[in-house]
Structure 1
Amino acid sequence: MLELFSLKDKVAVITGASRGLGKPMAKGLAVAGAHVVLIARDADKLNQVRDEIIAAGGAATALPIDLTDEGALRAGIREIGTALGGIDICVNNAGIISWQPLLESDVDDFQRIMDTNVKSTFIVSQECAAFMRAGGRGGRIINTGSLLSSLGRAKLHAYCSSKSAIVGLTRSLAAELGRHNITANVIAPGYFITEINESVTSRPGYVEAISGVTPMERWGQPEELVGTLIYLSSAASSFVTGQVIHVDGGIQATFTFQLAA
């Protein structure tokens, strides 16, 4: 039964692999048996993750690329896919965020977030799907959405838009690629302790406030996404596609509040 979750002899591409949620996700793919192709801008951090995976007995290749550089991104994926004999798993995890009130929002900043979060997801999915179809083995596309893929949040107009767009894009991929045995799904994290949230977790009372409206009454740890990722990357999820799986401690599906004693 556990063989259903094995990624042995698979090639997995993951963006945003140098830190945050991406680092433990990349390591999890390697532990499950995949050769992991790590993509992010910071070469030093990326090489460190690669070295840690190799030291633990896994296989990894670092591919430092700015996701907004379409030419370099396409060329990099094509080169590594050819060198490794194909691509089986595509994990679009990279994402950026910016807090701006509506009347102070900058169009260039909005576009930067859409390019990084959505356009790169489309490009990487397109390039990886080409290898998956050519290889005839099918494949898995897993995109990182958010609790805010389905909920709105003040001052996060670009981020909410981008994460909603990722869900629509993923469902469109699922509709088209299913006949090729390629599944496409979204992991939608809730509130996790990562670098991207440092600007808000430093606010007095913020961590406690989020914990108070989360049924599990705490924030998630990045490692808690790995199980869902392995499931969606493996044969265990062979008939699961077009889905959004929330890993958020129940916050999206419930309403909780604290009553005074």
Structure 2
Amino acid sequence: MSYHSQLRPGSFDGTTQIVTGGGSGIGRCIAHELASLGAHVVLLGRSADKLATVAAEIRTDGGACSEYSLDIRDEEAVRETVAEIVQARGAIHGLVNNAGGQYPAPLEQINAKGFQAVFNSNLLGGFLMAREAFSQSMKETGGSIVSITADNCGGMPMMGHSGAARAGMENLTHTAAVEWARCGVRVNAVAPGYILSSGFDTYDPAFLRELLPGFRDSIPLYRLGEEAEISGAVCFLLSDAASYITGQVLRIDGGSSLKHHSPLWQPPATAHNRKTFDGFHRRNKPQVVEELEAEGKL
């Protein structure tokens, strides 16, 4: 089997595409789709073991990739790694700023260390990667950058540290799009809503069992999203078909960011609004999601 991308085969032939956080979740899915479309994918992440596993999957499927283990919050490590990539590949054509992370907590329980850690993962690291990709390659060759943020419209209760960082990344996207357009560099962002990825496995299962059905009920399309539904949009924004798109934030959330819809409008769910795009042939559902689906609760 191979990835079922909606883009033309060979769309990324001859290009080098970096995916941070490529060892799991949405990043893993994006890496697979890009490789299936002909890109040489550079996987970045902190866990060498996870990167090696995904790299082996890609190569088994006939794709090309390389991997580098680093902490994107480390400025010198980012600078050196990007230099190695440029030396090895000649140019960087695309960067997906996907790495990040957070933990649920109300604002009054978040200390300075915790806030700084989430800020660094979700904003500083993405800035460093974008700056070095631009300075060391894209300034001369052009390119495309897509950052993964989150549904932060109207705030992110219980994840205020992440919401603040993600909003910062969206503003940084607008600024970079203007400053770097002169060099033929496009900069966009994708803001996923609730996506069925392995990221769910990092949270307390009891916490998710209680909240996930409510998440679904709050979404106009009445379902959670698939990793491939994020990857498809990211690959489009990286592609030549998006050559006139820059400085945009695309919200992929089933309508959940439309928080001001009338409470009087509560239509019943139907089969028509639950159709999904599941193009990722190696998709793994989070365990808690499989359990809830088996129980008829999701």
Return 5+ residue gaps in structure 1 as ranges: none
Matched, 1:147 2:151: yes
Q: Please show how residues 11-50 of structure 1 align to structure 2 within 5 Å.
A: 11-50=16-55
Aligned to 2:3: none
Among 185, 190, 206, the residue aligned to 1:187: 190
Matched, 1:221 2:192: no
**Contact 2:72–2:128 under 8 Å retained in 1:** no
Secondary structure of residue in 1 paired with 2:42: strand
1:118-139 deviation digits (Å, cap 9, x = unpaired) = 111111001111201223xx10
1:94-151 deviation digits (Å, cap 9, x = unpaired) = 111122222221101111111111111111001111201223xx10000001111x23
TM-score using structure 1 length: 0.92
CA offset at residue 74 of structure 1? 1.3
Aligned to 2:235: 230
CA offset at residue 207 of structure 1? 1.6
Counterpart AA for 2:162: Y
Aligned to 2:290: none
CA offset at residue 226 of structure 1? 1.6
Q: How many residues align?
A: 256
Counterpart AA for 2:190: I
Change in Cα spacing, 1:60 to 1:72, as seen in structure 2 (3 Å) is: same
Q: Please show how residues 7-156 of structure 1 align to structure 2 within 5 Å.
A: 7-130=12-135, 131-135=137-141, 138-148=142-152, 150-156=153-159
**Contact 2:72–2:126 under 8 Å retained in 1:** no
**Contact 2:122–2:166 under 8 Å retained in 1:** yes
Change in Cα spacing, 1:103 to 1:82, as seen in structure 2 (3 Å) is: same
Counterpart AA for 1:23: R
CA offset at residue 195 of structure 1? 3.4
CA offset at residue 84 of structure 1? 0.4
**Contact 1:97–1:196 under 8 Å retained in 2:** no
Identity %: 31
TM-score using structure 2 length: 0.81
CA offset at residue 25 of structure 1? 0.8
Counterpart AA for 2:47: D
**Contact 2:186–2:247 under 8 Å retained in 1:** yes
Counterpart AA for 1:144: I
**Contact 1:187–1:245 under 8 Å retained in 2:** yes
Q: Measure the CA separation in 2 of the matches of 1:180 and 1:3.
A: 26
Q: Measure the CA separation in 1 of the matches of 2:43 and 2:121.
A: 16
CA offset at residue 155 of structure 1? 2.5
